[in-house]
A and B are shown apart, each in its own frame.
Chain A
Amino acid sequence: MSGQTPLPAKVPPASAGPSAAIADMPLEVIGQPGVPFVEIETLRAREFIPAAKEALTSLLKEQANGKLIRPVFNWAGRNSLFPLHWGLACCAIEFAAAFGARWDAERFGVVPRSSPRQCDLLIVNGTVTWKVAHKLIALYEQMPEPKWAIAMGNCATGGGPFRTAYSVVPGVDKLIPVDVYIAGCPPRPENLLDGILRLEQLIKERGA
């Protein structure tokens, strides 16, 4: 036992984990070989956004008229329409079914979002009364441009069976601009998917 040499003092104690060591490192060192996996991932995500921004701005500078970049945005936008998750009446049941397992609208990049600020598509699915008309306009105005609207079902299209009622808006196009009308009472999920695909076609033709 007496012949054993003591450990060199330079070696760090085993209790100090990699994260403790990384906290003291300068930023440039993180991401080099030997640094644990999680931190490298974080760094990559952090570096990706400025890199992508720089690449896009240089593209936009070169193409001042937007001839090159606009079709890219159009393609990306029309294939990832985000509708507002806002149910009004029985059409909302079909709306929900369209995003369920059986019809799975998400395979077209259509993902319902809960906030109008994250949406570019308003699907009006149901009877709109004059009482709720203000809210509909407010939601539409909160959505960022470019934005589109689908009137789903007979009620949203033209008031449906309640057209002559004192309390019902006879067609939601009295309140907001509508791009696609879907007939049916209620329309099946296939009809909704067809309407969304037609809207994608419309966006492609308009080149917005």
Chain B
Amino acid sequence: MKTNELAARLTSKFGEGILGVDEFPGLLGRVRFDAAIASKLFHTFRDDLGFAHLTMVGAIDWIDHREVFYTLWSDADRVYVMLSANLPSDAPTIASAVPVWPSANAHEREAWDLVGIRFEGHPDLRRIFMPEGYAYHPLLRSFKIHEPEDLEVKVRSE
């Protein structure tokens, strides 16, 4: 399958939900999609296109919006593909990929912990690196290193 074939198949199925399919070095393509169709798109990629393996979930804070991306691997075609969605900074919410690929569990917890992406339908969306009750998402651009004394008070009060 080529990138333009993938683009044609996805656009015929989802229409407006697919914002674009770009060429990307080392990948079959980079699919930019609307967060509203996330769950259906995941099922399509796993069941119809054969991408059975989720390699990683990542997130970036672009200050005016946040991006969450998924890298998938197809054993049949031996090719990677990347899915990418832009989320508004004030409500960064997207459907969880855990029902489709269980390996997304820890990756989504990490994206929630560090960048503050909310994954709807995640079975156990707790922090994974920072202590429970920590108030910040430290990989956001707005995060400042706090005085140790502030954090000390925080740890002791828990």
Binding site for B on A (CB under 8 A): 130-131, 133-134, 137, 164, 166-167, 169-171, 174-175
Contact = CB atoms under 8 A, between A and B. Distances in A.
B136 to A, nearest CB: 8
Contact of A167 (B129, B156, B158): B129
Contacts, number: 32
B138 A133 contact: no
Contacts of B134: 130
A134 B145 CA distance: 20
B131 A130 contact: yes
Nearest to A136: B155
Given A131-B129, A133-B131, A174-B148, A166 B155 contact: no
Measured as residues with beta carbon below 8 angstroms from the partner, the interface class of chain B is 10 to 19
29 contacts: A130-B130, A130-B131, A130-B134, A130-B151, A130-B155, A131-B129, A131-B130, A131-B131, A133-B131, A134-B131, A134-B155, A134-B158, A137-B155, A137-B156, A164-B145, A166-B130, A166-B136, A166-B138, A166-B143, A166-B145, A167-B129, A167-B130, A169-B148, A169-B151, A170-B148, A171-B148, A174-B148, A174-B152, A175-B152
Contacts of B152: 174-175
| Interface secondary structure of B, over-half rule | loop
A167 B138 contact: yes
B141 to A, nearest CB: 13
Given A137-B156, A166-B136, 11 more contacts: A130-B134, A130-B151, A133-B131, A133-B155, A166-B130, A166-B138, A166-B143, A167-B130, A169-B148, A169-B151, A170-B148
